[in-house]
Amino acid sequence: MQGKTIRIGTRGSPLALAQAHEVRRRLMAAHGLPEEAIEISIIKVIGDQILDRPLAEVGGKGLFTKEIEDALLNGDIDLAVHSMKDMQTVLPGGLAVGAVLAREDVRDAFISLKYKSLTEVPAGATVGTSSLRRQAQLKHIRPDLNVVGFRGNVQTRLRKLEELVADATFLACAGLNRLGLKDRITCPIEIADMLPAVAQGAIGIEIRGGHAETAALLAPLNDEPTAIAVTAERAFLARLEGSCRTPIAGYARLDEGRLCFRGQVLSTDGVQSLETEIAGDPADAAAIGLTAAETLLAGGAARIMQASS
């Protein structure tokens, strides 16, 4: 790809653009490229255009990636930059994950203009979130709250707090950090209290499969510990056939040479919750995720997911 403009495809939200610019900066640093050698192309995706109803009513994770992946397959772009939690567990034929950047803070952020922590929020208060996972987890740990859904990008959801649409909300710490909005985090929620979405905090770079030159270009950007962890998490999600309609959480981390994984499936009303933990050799990341999923399925996760769909 020497001497050729590298074209990066991305959504047009402020966070998506911040992630695309991060990839461009890393490519420039890794290969000594000037900024003009890497072009960022904004592609409209259907998920950003549907704001009047929950995404669970419309479809799955492809809502935020399909149009970008089509552009990649058509050769209109060379790389696609995604939040990995938006990516389908089975990619379209002809595409592959070329690199995964080092993961940001995986925790969810509690944000409120009124209260310093979730424990301070009084019974009956309204908490807004667009995530079915967060809604279910919140209903499970605080069934006394009024949980409502609202859509929009990070800035839109922060503005809804100012407009008193809700007393509190949750966003990913990673996104707020990347946008320079760390100061808007009232209190991070520890993973022990709220397990994150699969691949939360990770940026994935998608390429056309079998394109050795592009793969070599991205090799210096790949963070192996993050890639291993995300492999386990995505295998877990794939086995459960999770989508935007099912509250599923999963997180893997390397600890003294072992890969430790924790997974959770909830009913949409938060009443039922199944969890499992497993550890093993990082080389067996996908198998660890699959085993965790099988454990939950044996414990009744299929029944919970069927009731949620």
If you average pLDDT over residues 207-214, what whole number do you get?
A: 94
Q: What percentage of the chain carries pLDDT values higher than 70?
A: 92
Helix axes 285-298, 301-308, angle to 10 degrees: 80
Q: Which CATH superfamily is domain 223-309 in?
A: Porphobilinogen deaminase, C-terminal domain (3.30.160.40)
Q: How many helices (H) and strands (E) does the chain have?
A: 10, 13
Does 1-102+202-222 match 108-189 in CATH topology?
yes
d(CA 36, CA 54): 39
pLDDT band of residue 155 (cuts 50, 70, 90) is: confident
CB 81 within 8 A of CB 10: yes
Tokens 């808007």 correspond to what residue? Answer: 184
CATH fold, domain 108-189, is D-Maltodextrin-Binding Protein; domain 2 (3.40.190)
* pLDDT for 61 beyond 70: no
pLDDT of residue 3: 64
Catalytic choice (48, 86, 108, 167) = 86
pLDDT of residue 149: 86
* pLDDT for 10 beyond 60: yes
241-298 tens-digit pLDDT: 755 578 999 999 999 999 999 999 999 999 999 999 999 999 999 999 999 999 999 9
Domain spans in the chain, listed from the N-terminal domain onward: 1-102+202-222, 108-189, 223-309
Phi, psi values for residue 251, rounded to 5°: -150, 130
* pLDDT for 160 beyond 70: yes
Grouping H, G, I as helix, E, B as strand and the rest as coil, residue 275 is: strand
d(CA 218, CA 8): 12
Three state DSSP letters for 134-202: HHHHHHHHCCCCEEECCCCCHHHHHHHHHCCCCCEEEEEHHHHHHCCCHHHCCEEECCCCCCCCCCCCC
pLDDT band of residue 51 (cuts 50, 70, 90) is: low
Q: Which class in CATH covers the domain with range 1-102+202-222?
A: alpha beta
In terms of DSSP bridges, do strands 187-189 and 108-111 run parallel, antiparallel, or are they unpaired?
antiparallel
Please say if 105 is a catalytic residue. no
Q: pTM here?
A: 0.92
Overall residue count recorded for the chain in this entry:
309
